[in-house]
Chain A
Amino acid sequence: MAQLGRSILLLDLGVCLYAVVASIYGARTRQSDWVDSGRRAVYCLAGLSVIAFTILEIAFIRNDFSFKVVADTSSTTIPTFYKLTAPWSSQQGSLLLWVTLSSLWSSLVLFITRKRLREIAPYATAVLMGMAGFFAALAAFAANPFATFTPALTPGNGAGLDPLLMHPSMMFHPPMLYSGYTLMAIPFAFAIGALIAGKLGSEWIRDTRRFALAAWLFLGVGIVLGARWSYTELGWGGYWGWDAVENAALMPWLMITAFIHSAQIQEKRGMLKVWNVSLVLLAGTLAIFGTFLVRSGVLDSIHAFGASTLGVPFVILLAIMAAGSIGLVLYRREGLRTEHRIDSLLSREAMFLLQNLVLVAMVFVIFWITLFPLISDAITGTKVSVGPPAFTPFIVPLALILVVLAGAGPMISWRRATVANLRQHFIFPVAFGFVVLILLLTLTDSGTKPLALAMFTFGSFLMASVTQEMYRGTAARRAMTKDAWPVAWLALVRRNRRRYGGYIAHFGLAVMLIGVAASSSFQHSRNATLTPGQSVSNDGYTFHYVRPIATATAERVSFGAVIDVTKGGGGGKPGQQITTLRTEQSFYPSTSASDGIIGRFFDSANADSTIGLDAGPLRDIWSVVSANLQPLAKDINEGDTYFAQDLNSLIKKSKHMTVAQQNAYISGQGFWTFRNEAVEGIVSQYTKHGYPVEFLLIVAPLVTWLWVGAFIIALGGLISMWPAPLAVRRRSPSVSRSRVARELV
């Protein structure tokens, strides 16, 4: 199977190279046969890559440890669900996944555009296959997922999956991100194709719009799943840490968000051609930059498990993409001149442009602050670490402006708006925002956090603006059709998916940012060291450490706590029971002999956390325990010494045997059974003695709305992306004016 996989990778590479050559040759000589042949090569690449990836998945499911990647990232004890996800936890599997997804998306776009964009598509094919070939070459020569051990060296079990990656999000988070990144390559490739072919109209935007939207959707969902993973798995209580790799995904997402908006201006008005093509080229380059950050390990990151030595090839690819993009834009600068000018600053075009500037400013800020450690290292020799405080002073004000523009944009018409129209449309949302502001100032302590208060106010303005747009649109529809409100609303959205899908996404943005502002500004966090029976208060809640829990299995040992949370009470009265939380810290056996025969079960470098969470619409109560293993250290060390001596003595007694016989002899003497009993005995000490343990206890408001908002944004994106019903094609010559009217009905 491995041999087959390796051969397919080489075949992949050959197919990519052929597709590049055939497509360019066909485009230069205007021979469509060669262009067709290049396109078919892309379909073949997709088929071959799917076969290769299936082979790798089968190796994981069958625990085939002759595959080095399986031995490194899986084991017999991990659940089948995580065996399926393990391929993309490794560098090798990730590269193969990239090639597979990239070839599938490329096939889809080239199939859809097979009868149009005839001058652009061949060059786009060459770009897409050039990029796929780059990843296929890395997989074939630098990080081969089908590398194997010789039978003699094949281990009996694997090292297992990084515990941090054993989370349900991992089934979807990386494939979603990779889908986003690979989809980002499609508008990038067609933009390059348009620049080379000199076809600088809106055709390439029109035909790749859905792919840009899909990239935006997949990358966005991937980012949110990553945030959810961070919140529930990493044990620090947050969902966004401005980690270098998080930022690397956010930057192309912001850039493609800008493009999705400004592309409409080019489609409608023939404006902003340089701007649009630059946004797409930057988004495509930033997508590769994100991969470079994950794979190179040049910056400290929670994604350090993905680091490798593949930085240099990525730098070369980035340099080619950046230089090629800049060169082509300069070469075609005359053809990219705008056809029209913005009629008025009071127009939706102007709002889109302002919103674009804010998004690009965000990317600029995130880019430089993310790279600041590298810059400081280059200049001063010291890698300065940066965290959230470096980002928030810039990002929060920009986000506030963005929310205002997202609320104002839908209320302003294309081309020009009058002051009277604006007054009519802005009264309700502005008044609603003010009412919310006054209520918050009077009823809550949100006045102490002005930026959060501003976000609540502007977010309310945005939600009111979208609600008003929905209401007015539905009312206009009802006036024509006399339908019931829900029917008219559904018909409105169905007939104007792009517009109202966008509005729904705007609404979700407001919900999400309100959740972010509330949970980050009004979070109450407390560290406490407690013994069983002790309590501590946080934000009006009492956390009572009821009892310790501990379990030992072949897969892991876990130490945890049961916590009762109550509210109120005092003066002898019991508080109201709110919830019971159960949190654990689990330790997975390390494979390093230096950790000791017993000590390897208590390796803190191989641990993860299970949080205790009570999530609700108004607040989340979040807890994590940090197991205190210090009191067990003496027993662990003594166990290491005793079992090492015992093992040595057994090895001496069996030194005349073969390795297999020796292993059977040691097992037969009950060595491993005694070892397991010793581990269980040490673990049980934890519950018997009730040692003091450290907790992180957090009460944060409105976190749930962050996830709800993200869901609404994704829903809006899906509605925008969904194809409209096929237009009725009436091809007979007809009377044009009446025909326009008829076909518009």
Chain B
Amino acid sequence: MAYVIVFVLLVGVVLVVTSPLRRPIVSAEVAAEHARISREVEDYAAAEIDLEAARDAKYREIRDAELDHQTGKLSDPDFQAIDSTLRAEAIELLRQLDALDDPTDGDDSDEDEEVAE
């Protein structure tokens, strides 16, 4: 009985572990193209996740600075300097995120300036 269970486990492990390697057989060119596209998709997804994480970290930094200011640990001029730097960095991250969404969607700095005004 033990051997049967071990065999079943072994088959299960082999199936799970090799599933990413078991692709339909296609020509070398198609396979290479498929690999290139999937790499691009993965690169895109990874870049997006990294940028989102960086954005969240930057937001956390801005909140920290705000809290330091509200609790009196940062003076007004220091806070303004730090806050504007951090917000500029956050904007840059958002731009990179938007550019990922739509590479043709170019510079929206005009819009930014409009809002700032």
Contacts and interface: CB of A to CB of B under 8 A. Distances in A.
Contact of B67 (A496, A734, A738): A496
A416 B116 CA distance: 28
A461 interface: no
A8 B9 contact: yes
A680 B46 CA distance: 73
Contacts of A740: 59, 62, 87, 90-91, 94
Interface residues of B, number: 60
Nearest to A468: B71
Interface string B51-82: 01100110111111101101111110010001
Contacts of A207: 53
B29 interface: no
B61 A268 contact: yes
A651 B101 CA distance: 89
Given A37-B21, A499-B67, A4 B6 contact: yes
B72 A424 contact: yes
B64 A472 contact: no
B47 to A, nearest CB: 9
Contacts of A411: 73
Contacts of A469: 71
B18 interface: yes
A733 B98 contact: yes
A122 B81 CA distance: 41
A115 B94 contact: no
B63 A496 contact: yes
Interface stretch (A41-49, A129-137, A525-533, A567-575): A41-49
Contact of B62 (A4, A267, A479, A744): A744
List of 7 A-B pairs having minimum Cβ-Cβ separation, nearest first = A476-B70, A36-B20, A413-B73, A472-B71, A4-B2, A7-B6, A3-B2
Interface string A413-453: 11111101100110000000000000000000000000000
A412 B67 contact: no
A152 interface: no
Central interface residue in B49, B57, B73, by most chain A CB within 10 Å: B73
B91 A737 contact: yes
Q: Name which of A51, A118, A496 has the most chain B CB atoms within 10 A of its CB.
A: A118
Interface in A1-16: 1, 3-4, 7-8, 11, 15
A735 B21 contact: no
Contacts of A417: 73-74
Given A33-B21, A727-B56, A735-B108, A203 B13 contact: no
A415 B65 CA distance: 10
Instruction: Give the secondary structure class of A's interface.
Output: helix
Interface residues of A, number: 66
Interface string A25-52: 0000011111011001101100010010
Interface string A705-742: 00000000000000000000001010111111111100
Contacts of A37: 17-21
B33 interface: no
A417 B72 CA distance: 10
B59 to A, nearest CB: 6
Interface SS of chain B: helix
Nearest to B91: A736
A504 to B, nearest CB: 16
A643 to B, nearest CB: 44
A743 interface: yes
A744 B112 contact: no
B45 A115 contact: yes
Contacts of A653: none
B102 to A, nearest CB: 6
A203 B53 CA distance: 9
A206 interface: yes
Contacts of B68: 413-414
A335 interface: no
Contact of B17 (A1, A7, A44, A731): A44
A116 B50 contact: yes
A506 to B, nearest CB: 16
Interface string B24-51: 0000000000010011001001100110
Interface string B85-117: 001001100110110011001001001101110
Interface of B: 2-3, 5-6, 9-10, 12-13, 16-21, 23, 35, 38-39, 42, 45-46, 49-50, 52-53, 56-57, 59-65, 67-68, 70-75, 78, 82, 87, 90-91, 94-95, 97-98, 101-102, 105, 108, 111-112, 114-116
Given A11-B10, A118-B46, A418 B38 contact: no
26 contacts: A1-B2, A3-B2, A4-B5, A4-B6, A7-B3, A8-B6, A11-B13, A15-B17, A32-B38, A34-B21, A41-B13, A44-B13, A203-B50, A206-B53, A206-B57, A267-B57, A416-B78, A420-B75, A421-B72, A472-B71, A498-B60, A499-B64, A737-B87, A737-B115, A739-B94, A740-B87
Nearest to B72: A424
B97 to A, nearest CB: 8
A118 B50 CA distance: 11
Contacts of A413: 65, 68, 73-74, 78
A44 B82 CA distance: 48
A271 B4 CA distance: 56
B52 A729 contact: yes
Contacts of B70: 472-473, 476, 479
Given A44-B17, A740-B87, A472 B72 contact: yes
B24 to A, nearest CB: 13
A733 B102 contact: yes
Contacts of B67: 473, 476, 496, 499
A733 B105 contact: yes
A51 to B, nearest CB: 8
Given A202-B57, A740-B91, 14 more contacts: A11-B10, A18-B17, A32-B39, A32-B42, A116-B53, A267-B57, A268-B61, A411-B73, A417-B74, A473-B67, A476-B67, A735-B115, A737-B91, A738-B115
Contact of B75 (A3, A30, A418): A418
Contacts of B46: 115-116, 118
A495 interface: yes
A7 B42 contact: no
Nearest to B86: A740
A403 to B, nearest CB: 20
B78 to A, nearest CB: 6
Nearest to B35: A31
Given A418-B78, A733-B108, A473 B71 contact: yes
Contacts of B62: 740, 744
Nearest to B75: A418
Contacts of A495: 63
Given A32-B39, A413-B74, A744 B59 contact: yes
Interface in A511-550: none
B91 A33 contact: no
A660 to B, nearest CB: 29
Contacts of B38: 32
A7 B61 contact: no
B65 A15 contact: no
A425 B72 contact: yes
Contacts of A727: 52, 56, 59
A476 B39 contact: no
B2 A7 contact: yes
A83 B102 CA distance: 61
